[in-house]
Structure 1
Amino acid sequence: MLRRVLIFLCLTLSATSAISENSALRRLDTGEDGKGWEGVGRLDLAGRGFCTGALIAPDLVLTAAHCLFDRETGEKVDYSRIEFQAGMRNGRAEAYRWVRRAVVHPSYHFDGPVSADRVRNDLALLELAQPIRNGSVIPFDVARAVGAGDQVGVVSYAHDRAEAPSMQDICSVTGRQQGILVMSCDVDFGASGSPVFSFDGGRTQIVSVISAKAHVDGERVALGSQLDGSVDLLRNQLAAGVGVLKSTLSQARRVRVGAARNASGAKFLKQ
């Protein structure tokens, strides 16, 4: 099945124009470097690893659905032990918030076979226990329109750059089909859930969420979902009361991700 998915992606890519030159990753180490990107944060997954997420409302974080599952057991991570660390940089975040509720796309199945459906529906929305009302942490808008050939950017954390976010200003959408975006962006373990941004018209908007990495014609690519109406669907699920905590645990002690953590924090597709 995986081989079939990658062949499908190769065909999609070959029908598009050549990949434009990508910018290199740059680490946002200082407050000046990270200005405007504080709404991107690290998600500490109950001390078992981390993903990346982005604030789209004062109390809502958009990320990848597979981040909410234990990759060894397939069980859901206890939402009450997930912490969003907004703008985490060198051991300090602009804001820390626990998660109160979480919903995954209703068509996402973690234990299913690797398929285009899994990537397309790999979205989750987290409701924070308290909204972040900090003048330096501004939620991002979400947009639907992005197509092959468009330039995008990504802000992410990853296993080898876990203590500060990195930004790739320019990468490209090299293919789009069946709700999946194929992108030339540089991602690695931990970058799951990272926001993909469009900068058209001077507006910074999230247009996709990183789901996986793969190889196409020998080149590394990032795979993400085409948002379409999925974010509205997830918002409606929260409004309908979906996403009650799996269990209630004390949050008095903040879980910290140490050097001995399982650095993967996420499941990626590989060739």
Structure 2
Amino acid sequence: MTEGNVRAWVIGLVVALLPAMALAKDARPQRLDSLETGRAWQAVGRLDIDGKGFCTGTLIDTDLVLTAAHCLFDRKTKKRIRPEMIEFRAGWRNGRASAYRGVRRAVVHPDYVFDGSVTSTRVRNDLALLQLEQPIRNTTVMPFRTADHPGSEDEVGVVSYARDRAEAPTLQEVCGIIARQDGILVMSCDVDFGSSGSPIFSFTGGVPRIVSVVSAKAEVRGTRVALGTELGEPLELLRAIIDAGRGLARSTPPRGVRHVMVGDARSETGAKFDRPGG
């Protein structure tokens, strides 16, 4: 699907649901580059993919990281990236992380197909779980709760790494849900290259809960939007697959922490957050 077709698909979805679309007044992203500002978000981390690219992932249990399925595919070959090539860096900020973990097992949604295009089916199923080699039991890195979907009047927020903020995440605490249909969310959150897999939070009751992850970005009437799936049944299915010991397991024994460094923005992996369908 071309960028033009993606835009048409998103606009069609928005127009069908909200003929007189009005965007919420979104908050500006805040850089979490100090211990004080980033303390509450240590469970959000950078997923380094074989030193060639990165995505964002979030700890939702002591040994489970939630991200987008397309992050786990090579963009050129369209093949799965082996778990041993992925490292989760919890709370990555200015060259250091609160915890480093390799990946033992990776599961993508069974109905997800990585084919380089962005369609409603792909976005709806663009979800993956990573089981870490060892749990993170650190009082400064507390897993986030999840919720099936945001409430009808909820405002949401996103914590993400991106191409221009690879060394520290940013928090956009208020952005709006523009439209939703068949489990897909269109949100006015400010995301960019590298933000794939970033957690979308609802703040109902003052407690942040993950309600989606960033699958792609697009543009509607001059406004950049983020696309993601509601968690609900897709996440429940991934947990069941992990619990059954299925999924793509690492083929080599753990060799300790690799701490590979991501190179430039040119990536051969699905981890490069390109334009939809790019």
Residue 84 of structure 2: which of 80, 84, 88 is its match?
Answer: 80
TM-score (norm 2): 0.91
1:201 Cα deviation (Å)? 1.0
Residue 249 of structure 1 deviates from its aligned partner by: 6.3
The equivalent residue for 1:186 is 190
Give me the identity figure in percent.
Answer: 55
Q: Indicate whether 1:141 and 2:145 are aligned.
A: yes
- Between the aligned partners of 2:170 and 2:234, the Cα distance in structure 1 is 26
Deviations 1:45-76 (A, max 9, x none): 11110000000000000000000001121111
Provide the rounded CA distance (Å) in 2 between the counterparts of 1:60 and 1:268: 27
What does residue range 212-223 of structure 1 map to in structure 2 within 5 Å? 212-223=216-227
Listed as ranges, the matches of 1:97-108 within 5 Å are 97-108=101-112
- Following superposition of structure 1 onto structure 2, how do residues 103-252 of structure 1 map, counting pairs within 5 Å? 103-111=107-115, 113-147=117-151, 149-245=153-249, 247-248=251-252, 251-252=255-256
Corresponding residue pairs, total: 271
The counterpart of 1:40, out of the listed 34, 39, 44, is 44
Q: Which amino acid aligns with 2:207?
A: R
Change in Cα spacing, 1:135 to 1:221, as seen in structure 2 (3 Å) is same
Aligned pair partner of 2:68 in 60, 64, 69: 64
Return closer, same or farther for 1:203/1:111 CA change in 2, 3 Å cut-off: same
| Letter aligned with residue 84 of structure 1 | F
The normalised TM-score by structure 1 is: 0.93
> Structure 2: which 5+ residue stretches go unaligned?
none
How far the C-alpha of 1:11 sits from its partner, in A, is: 1.8
Q: Distance in 2 between matches of 1:9 and 1:147?
A: 19
Q: What is the Cα deviation at residue 20 of structure 1?
A: 1.2
Superposed displacement of residue 143, structure 1: 0.4
- Paired amino acid for 1:155: V
Kept in 1, the 8 Å contact 2:158–2:173? The answer is: yes
Question: Does the residue aligned with 1:160 lie in a helix, a strand or coil?
Answer: helix
> Given the superposition, is the C-alpha separation of residues 247 and 34 from structure 1 closer, same or farther in structure 2, using an over 3 Å criterion?
same
Q: 1:250 and 1:128, CA in 2 relative to 1: closer, same or farther beyond 3 A?
A: closer
- The one-letter code matched in structure 1 to 2:119 is S
Q: Name the CA distance, whole Å, in 1 between partners of 2:277 and 2:222.
A: 12
Q: CA offset at residue 149 of structure 1?
A: 4.6
Per-residue CA deviations over 1:62-103 (Å, capped at 9, x if unaligned) read: 000000001121111111120000000000000000000010
